[in-house]
Copies of this chain bind each other. A is one copy, B any other.
Amino acid sequence: MRSTSRTEAVPASTPAASLVFTTVLSHGPLTRTEIARRTTLSSAAVTKAVRPLMEAGYLVEGVDEEARSSLGRPANPVRVDGGRALFIGVKVTGDEIIAVLTDLCCRIRVARHLPLTDREPGAVLAAIAGLVQELLTEADGFGVEVRGLGLAVSGDVDRTAGVVRYSPFLDWRDVPLADLAGTVTGLPVTVDNDVRALTVAEQWFGAGVGLSDFALVTVGAGIGCGLVVHGRVVSGAHGVAGEIGHLSIDPLGPPCHCGNTGCVEAIAGDSAIVRRVREVTGLPVADSGQALELAHQGDPGAKEAYARAGEAIGRAIGAVVNVLGPQRVIISGEGLAAYDLFAEQIRDAFAASAFGTAAQCDVMTRPLPFEEWARGAAATAIQSFIGTDTY
């Protein structure tokens, strides 16, 4: 991935500098020796990479008395100066916009939610502009400039071009979101797929820290997957990757909005579960909240729909593990609210699908509220700012 044309000149333009920055961000404060060890860069390369980042004030030498005394000599650890710059991250769901103001360490300073009533690009853009304006006003109180805006949208997103090519839940096609949002906010804008953005946050600060290979599987309205392979988020040569929701696992399964049959999402996505609960129970179930309630009340038909979804999710996880052999699979997303209803089926279907030692993969769940997804969007803005998306 490359910075969009709207991104300002980046302070760290070499791969080594980007690597050093994100390593210090995730693990800092770190001594230069420790940075060299973790990045496998030479000491000279680390020194060279650290210098411009320190001159720009993004890295500072942290006086860490504890490290100093335990090492018996001044350790001069380096850390990111979170207060040096601010960023805004926005996650757009089908029902809501969630925006956060973060510092350079991607720590959330302020969060805002806004219900989304109209999914037309123009209306969504106006809502984003309003939220961004609120957060820019908040930012004034910190006396630090907002240096970038990250927008996270579900679907097929071309980060390089800044275009949402196809978002089923918003019903968008070919929306040049980065240009539009840049025009209305005046900020450098990074647009990315929401699951990929959340994966960046997990890699930097979450259950993916220190792992070179992991998958983040999100269950809810859609079934998504963010992948980190060889230490980097996979974005796909044509912008599509991690689409486990569109693995077809049953030739006789239900039709999917993508045009294929038996896709995981057509069995385990929220609306697929609601449809199935309606079919099996004959009840006029309106949404996934009601479907979930019915299942939690013990309705066998509703429970069966969730069990079926769990089996599909487990098979999808098995597919990812067989293809990539990650160290860990993190299951998250708003669908975790139903986890008690399909945990067993996920586990069993994964165990049945995993080939050989792939079954040793650590599969865990981790609830991540939408603020965390917005934080992921802010992380992509920090990536663009610091130049790590070119690494």
Contacts and interface: CB of A to CB of B under 8 A. Distances in A.
B166 A356 contact: yes
A234 B324 contact: yes
B358 A240 contact: yes
Contacts of A361: 237-238
Interface string A227-269: 1011110111111111110111111100000111000000000
Interface residues of A, number: 56
A245 to B, nearest CB: 8
Contacts of A319: 247, 319, 323
A355 B240 contact: yes
The count of identical subunits is 2
Interface of A: 14-15, 40, 42, 45, 156, 158, 165-166, 213, 225, 227, 229-232, 234-244, 246-252, 258-260, 315, 318-327, 352-353, 355-358, 360-361
29 contacts: A14-B42, A45-B45, A158-B357, A165-B356, A166-B356, A229-B229, A235-B325, A236-B324, A237-B325, A237-B326, A237-B327, A239-B325, A240-B325, A241-B324, A243-B323, A244-B322, A246-B355, A247-B247, A247-B319, A247-B323, A247-B353, A248-B315, A249-B249, A249-B251, A250-B250, A252-B252, A259-B352, A320-B323, A324-B324
